[in-house]
Chains A and B, each alone.
Chain A
Amino acid sequence: MSRPRLEVRLRERVAAKQKLLIPYVMAGQSEDWLETVQAIADAGADAIEIGLPFSDPIMDGPVIQEAAVVSLERGTTPQSVLNDLGRLELDTPLVVMTYFNLVYRAGLDRFAGRLQEVGVTGCIIPDLSLEEFGAWEKAAERVGIDPVLLVAPSTSTERAKAICERSRGFLYAVGRMGVTGERDDASLEVDAVVAKVRPFTTLPVCVGVGVSTPEQAAAVVRVADGAIVGSALVRRLLEGGGPEGAATFIGELRSALDGVTLDG
């Protein structure tokens, strides 16, 4: 299963003046989750984050926590998710997002190899700090997986520089101090965090955590290259929105972003 390299694809899109839309779904959350991934891709996602559920997700708020519980109760394992992903026919890069213990338990090289086999081309591990990143960085590089790193509003300029140098795929700019979850615009700190990283990287800069509505997504990409939307989509799926509901929401987000592109 070969899919486009994450960074290559995103850079192409940015070069073509397209704003990036990266939705997040929790793998295994419902019977039809793969159809949801397909529907999101068709509705205009530039890449899709696939959450591998972990029992103790400390960067996630209530919505994604609940989705993880639902998924784990359905018997989802890293193995089952990767097997499922291998069956997808998609031209959209997939980025796995999970916590370090699942990667460590599988073995870093083995985990990276499995991602590569099933056509995943990026990986985000939010609890793997820059200080402890080296071993995973090598394992990912060996098989052509782009390891994405985070910069937060609290990150110092010096740290931001070091993170920018080692992130691949894109740069994940945390839009506000907090865990994942829907928020109103007031709490987003997008301008500052994007301005902090721009001098140090040519990677696409995508803002996640707290981006919930088409309006917010549009506001975010006035300074950033892309928006990552997690909880707002996952909530719709938990409420039974299914692939169709997901596609409608992604369509709305896509139009909002394309509107910004047209504005110039």
Chain B
Amino acid sequence: MTEVVQTPMAEPTKAGWFGDFGGRFAPEPLMPACLELEEAFRDAWADPVFHAEFEEVLHSFGGRPTPITHCKRLSEDLGITLLLKREDLAHTGSHKINNVIGQALLTKRMGKSKMIAETGAGQHGVASATAAALLGLECTVYMGEVDTQRQALNVFRMELLGATVHPVTSGSRTLKDAVNEAMRTWVSHVADTHYCLGSVMGPHPFPWMVREFQSILGTEAREQSQSMLDDVPDFVVACVGGGSNAAGMFSGFANSRSKLIGVEALGGAAIASGIPGVLHGMMSQILQDEEGQILEAHSISAGLDYPGIGPEHAHLASIGRAIYSTADDDEVLDALERLSNTEGIIPALEPSHALAWIIREAGRQIPKGSTVLLNMSGRGDKDVAQVREILQAKGRFQ
């Protein structure tokens, strides 16, 4: 837990610390795998051949680069210039594909034949199953039982892609417990199995490695916004569950004047309501009680139902380089509907949190006339059944 001055979003220390957060709090049976993974990732990431393959797969298979869309009608309503980075248009419908292609290629490079993954909303599970199918890996996905019900279609998608979905019945039966179960499984199968973690969390090197794989979207967005605006945006906004889409996005702008805003679900706000602690192998801001028992997050969105946050976000918050706010379930539903019917884009519930913040703060924290880049991390197809049910219960729609 050494304090070192670091440039925002540089490499963590050798032991995986971003300031006071991160590290490697894994049981000894997993430590050799974490060390092996770090070495393999360092080696791959320094290898132009690996980079070329990663980028080629994301271009020819993953649909990259994704465009930036100027939301003209909503911009006019809000008195700002609103740009969306369209990760919803990437293959499988979210930014998750960037990370899984990287990790699946790395799995093969390490000579392992199996991947396990946890999933909340199902997007990371679907992306993992997709990458596994593409590269001929065996894939098992751990998913909280509550989420298998909320996201039944994604369970079927994973199965169609040849993956096995393992419902997790311990604890709150959501994302946190899916991570626990994936880690437990990894302990027994570490010799031939890679744990494809879905966000910038877990023990070192995961938070750093996942950010690096996601930085492709931030690098693209920086170039695209430069050529559209001849400048960087005034605000760069992303939703934060574990924080992978936000980390990828922020990494493209950390060295610029852009204000970086992360938006968490009100019921899972690790920065606003958490305190430092250790969960899932990392020191970070964690929702917990006075004794240190982890609290359950509660949100409309399975992908943000997580009581922690990636350690680098805890660090960016502590040094003030990024600001973290929240959105509640009602604002999120309003934002989802509004983008759908003013711009023809149905967003996932997760990035609807970031949009809700923008709608709420336009003309307040966001001065009129500002340019705002929102990371549209995923499309809403997975959520429409759930949203329909909620809106119908409120007497809206038939």
> Is the CB–CB distance between B29 and A55 below 8 Å?
no
**Nearest CB on A from B281, distance (A):** 7
Query: How far is B341's CA from A135's CA once the two chains are assembled, in angstroms?
Result: 55
Question: A78–B187 contact, CB under 8 A?
Answer: no
Residues of chain A within 8 A (CB-CB) of B23 are 131-132
Please state if B24 and A129 are interface contacts (CB–CB under 8 Å). yes
Complex interface: stretch among B59-67, B159-167, B244-252, B289-297:
B289-297
Contacts of B280 in A (CB 8 A): 56, 58
- A132-B24 in contact given A56-B171, A65-B170, A101-B279 (Cβ < 8 Å): yes
Residue count of chain B within 8 Å CB distance of chain A: 39
Chain B positions within 8 Å of A79 at CB level: 291
Chain A contact patch, size range:
35 or more
Q: How far is the CA of A55 from the CA of B171 in the complex (A)?
A: 8
Pick 8 A–B contacts, CB within 8 A, sort by A.
A55-B293, A56-B171, A65-B170, A72-B293, A101-B294, A132-B23, A155-B28, A155-B32
**Interface members, chain A 76-135 (any B CB < 8 Å):** 77-79, 99-106, 126-132, 135
Q: Is B288 an interface residue (CB 8 A)?
A: yes
A56-B176 contact given A101-B278, A132-B25, A156-B32, CB 8 Å threshold: yes
Residue positions of B touching A, CB distance < 8 A: 1, 15, 23-33, 170-171, 176-177, 180, 183-184, 187-191, 203, 276-281, 286, 288, 290-294
* Contact A174-B1, Cβ < 8 Å, known A65-B170, A102-B291: no
Cβ A149 vs Cβ B28 within 8 A: yes
- Given the complex, which residues of A lie within 8 Å of B27, measured CB to CB? 58-59, 126-127, 129, 150, 152
CA distance A118 to B191 in the complex (A): 41
A106 touches B292 (CB 8 A): yes
Query: Assuming the A-B contacts A55-B171, A56-B180, are A154 and B190 also in contact, with contact meaning beta carbons closer than 8 angstroms in the complex?
Result: yes
**B residues in contact with A61, CB < 8 Å:** 184
Contact A59 B187 (CB under 8 A): yes
Whether A102 and B292, one on each chain, are in contact in the complex, defined by CB atoms closer than 8 angstroms, is yes
**Chain A, 14-60, CB within 8 A of any chain B CB:** 54-60
Known: A56-B279, A105-B277, A105-B288. A155 touches B31 (CB 8 A): yes
- Residue among B29, B286, B294 with the most chain A CB within 10 A? B29
- Find A101's partner among B171, B176, B286 (CB 8 Å cutoff): B286
The distance in angstroms between the C-alpha atoms of A151 and B27, with both chains bound, is 10
A177-B187 in contact given A101-B278, A131-B23 (Cβ < 8 Å): yes
Cβ contact within 8 Å between A127 and B278: yes
Residue-wise interface mask of A (135-176) relative to B, using a CB-CB cutoff of 8 A (1 in contact, 0 not): 100000000000001111111100100010000000000100
Min CB distance A165 to B, Å, is 15
Residue A179 CB within 8 A of the other chain: yes
A-B pairs, top 4 by smallest CB distance, nearest first, are A105-B292, A152-B29, A178-B188, A150-B28
- Would you call B190 and A56 a contact (CB within 8 A)? no
Q: Are B293 and A128 in contact (CB under 8 A)?
A: no
Measured CB to CB, the nearest residue on chain A to B23 is: A132
B33 proximity list for chain A (CB < 8 A): 154
Q: List chain B residues, Cβ under 8 A from A55.
A: 171, 293-294
Chain B: minimal CB distance from A83 (Å): 13
Q: Kindly provide the distance from the CB of B233 to the nearest chain A CB, expressed in whole angstroms.
A: 38
Min CB distance B171 to A, Å, is 7
Partner of A159, one of B31, B176, B279: B31
What is the minimal beta-carbon distance from B126 to any residue of chain A, in angstroms?
Answer: 25
Shortest Cβ distance from B182 into A: residue = A58
Note all chain B residues with C-beta closer than 8 A to A99. Answer: 278
Which of A78, A100, A105, A129 is within 8 Å of B28, CB to CB? A129
